[in-house]
Structure 1
Amino acid sequence: MKPLETSKIRSFDDTELAVHRLGEGRPVVLLHGLFSNAEMNWLRFGHAQMLALAGFEAIMPDLRGHGDSGKPHDPASYPPDVLVRDLFALTETLDLDDFDLVGFSLGSRTAARAVIAGLEPRRLVLSGMGLEGLAGWNARAAFFIDAIDRFAEVKHGDRAFFAVSFMKTMKVDRDAARLLLQSVADTSPDELAKITMPTLVLCGDNDRDNGSPEKLVEALPDASLATIPGTHMSSVTEPALGEALVEFLK
């Protein structure tokens, strides 16, 4: 198996994006969740390794404002759908024209928005996502912006406690994160009709943080549902996540 390699590419506005690559074979781009990074979402619990062993090349960017990627504090660096523009820059720079696309949570939202904007992966996985996480994203973003704004005062028992705790663990740049959240917009249910490739909606059996995965499957033209153990946070730690990715993409 080809070992892990990390490099930097420049996006549309010259912001550097860190890209981690593992294995060789059919490319699969994996987009991590909010406040996380490629190492936490895809490498730490073995999901990328499972894909590499199954004959894929796992291509894992750190999203803008996260991990080893650039974290600009200029509001001009966060135009609408900036993460979608970064994803297009990634696929163009790496010359990816036949690949699969996987997202978790914010990564799923980014993947869906990119497909609506014209990106054409062979297969798509939306994990940690329900219909309301796409069609009602503004409310979700407002929750996290509030957590950032009240960061120093959030105590155990506050509904924002786990979000703040995760931000502390990941040493999140809160200024960059707040700007990024403001760049994200809702996706209307009608737009989902543009997602025509085979799609797997993959969700923890106790994860409804982003709404109903069943309703998301119903809203997509060619989607199926798979559940794995866990909540929104814990499902990422389950080997079943990587196993489900391999099964669907193979």
Structure 2
Amino acid sequence: MSIEPQFFDARDGVRLAWRAMGEGRPILLLHGLFSSAEVNWIKFGTAARIARAGYQVIMPDLRVHGSSAAPHGAEHYPSDILVDDLQDLVAHLNLTDFDLGGFSLGARTSVRAVVAGVRPARLILGGMGLAGLAGWQRRGQFFKRVIAEYDSAKRGDDTWLSIQFMKTMKIDRVAAGLLLDSFADTPPEALAAITMPTLVVCGEQDQDNGSAPELVAALADAQLATIPGTHMSSVTEPELGEAIAAFLTA
């Protein structure tokens, strides 16, 4: 199914999209790099499963992604701009009591938001391990190569699948490169800010962002849910929505 986007203007005037499904307590879900709300949360039924549990699922398209704008000016990409955008959406919707989660880049952004002072009641980190937070720059260099090799990579190269996904999703390479420069590492000591109950949900074959059990061990009140799949395939599994719904309604 497809849900028509709604729009708001971020603090720098960039037009950003969001989608919503269901009624009830709000939960904000942030998608992964080069993906979108529709692909990450709607297409495979994850949002619908959470909505059936009594939630309003609010799903922004991060800037440069989906139906949101992808400006080329470097002034639109200060450090942690995605956290600013999340805060602007929370303010736009007048949310005061809500839950927050994300997958991969969405999980990283959710952590950065909590470190910056956003206070969801519960937190969900999908496809994320400790190294994916503390060592983002290493992961970021891979995606810089994805952009650099966009027209030259051959099938079998380590960047090939990510490039094909970028092409399918029609990602603007210039804007994506600027966005990558806005990301910052989160050292383990900064995780002390995460005091709320947290679900770490990760595919059993997913080591792309490091060890999920290590991330659980580093958090004050976290539990691990292991679901089928790799980093790319776990978002297509029904177990993702089941795990999130079970955590939220426990």
The TM-score normalised by the length of structure 1 is: 0.98
Identity of aligned residues (%): 58
Query: CA offsets, 1:188-222, max 9 Å, x none?
Result: 00000110000011000000000000110111111
The runs of 5 or more residues in structure 1 that have no matched partner are: none
Give the SS at the match of 1:51.
Answer: helix
- The residue that corresponds to 1:180 in the other structure is 179
Aligned AA (2:192): A
C-alpha contact (below 8 Å) 1:5/1:22 kept by paired residues: no
Q: Once superposed, what is the RMSD of the aligned Cα atoms? A: 1.0
Trace 1:84-163 onto structure 2 (pairs within 5 A).
84-163=83-162
Determine if the alignment matches structure 1 residue 40 to structure 2 residue 32: no
Query: CA offsets, 1:101-153, max 9 Å, x none?
Result: 01000000000000010001010000000001000000111110111011111
Give the SS at the match of 1:101.
Answer: strand
Query: CA offsets, 1:67-109, max 9 Å, x none?
Result: 0001000011000000000000010110111011010000000
Trace 1:62-81 onto structure 2 (pairs within 5 A).
62-81=61-80
- The residue that corresponds to 1:52 in the other structure is 51
Query: CA offsets, 1:12-65, max 9 Å, x none?
Result: 111111010111100000000000000000000001111111110010000000
Measure the CA separation in 2 of the matches of 1:117 and 1:33.
Answer: 20
Give the SS at the match of 2:120.
Answer: coil
Measure the CA separation in 1 of the matches of 2:9 and 2:96.
Answer: 19
Aligned AA (1:221): A
Measure the CA separation in 2 of the matches of 1:39 and 1:6.
Answer: 10
Measure the CA separation in 2 of the matches of 1:70 and 1:170.
Answer: 14
C-alpha contact (below 8 Å) 1:4/1:23 kept by paired residues: no
Query: CA offsets, 1:157-205, max 9 Å, x none?
Result: 2111111111111111111111100100111000001100000110000
Trace 1:217-228 onto structure 2 (pairs within 5 A).
217-228=216-227
C-alpha contact (below 8 Å) 2:27/2:58 kept by paired residues: yes
The runs of 5 or more residues in structure 2 that have no matched partner are: none
In the alignment of these two chains, the number of paired residues is: 248
Measure the CA separation in 1 of the matches of 2:221 and 2:52.
Answer: 27
Give the SS at the match of 2:5.
Answer: strand
Measure the CA separation in 1 of the matches of 2:143 and 2:63.
Answer: 17
Give the SS at the match of 2:19.
Answer: strand
C-alpha contact (below 8 Å) 2:19/2:59 kept by paired residues: yes
Measure the CA separation in 1 of the matches of 2:34 and 2:127.
Answer: 14
C-alpha contact (below 8 Å) 1:17/1:70 kept by paired residues: yes
C-alpha contact (below 8 Å) 2:26/2:57 kept by paired residues: yes
- The residue that corresponds to 1:168 in the other structure is 167
Please state how far the C-alpha of 1:5 moved relative to its aligned partner.
5.1
Measure the CA separation in 1 of the matches of 2:159 and 2:145.
Answer: 8
Measure the CA separation in 2 of the matches of 1:158 and 1:50.
Answer: 36
Give the SS at the match of 1:118.
Answer: coil
C-alpha contact (below 8 Å) 2:49/2:242 kept by paired residues: yes
Give the SS at the match of 2:151.
Answer: helix
Determine if the alignment matches structure 1 residue 230 to structure 2 residue 233: no
Please state how far the C-alpha of 1:4 moved relative to its aligned partner.
4.3
Aligned AA (1:51): I
C-alpha contact (below 8 Å) 2:5/2:67 kept by paired residues: no
Measure the CA separation in 2 of the matches of 1:243 and 1:218.
Answer: 23
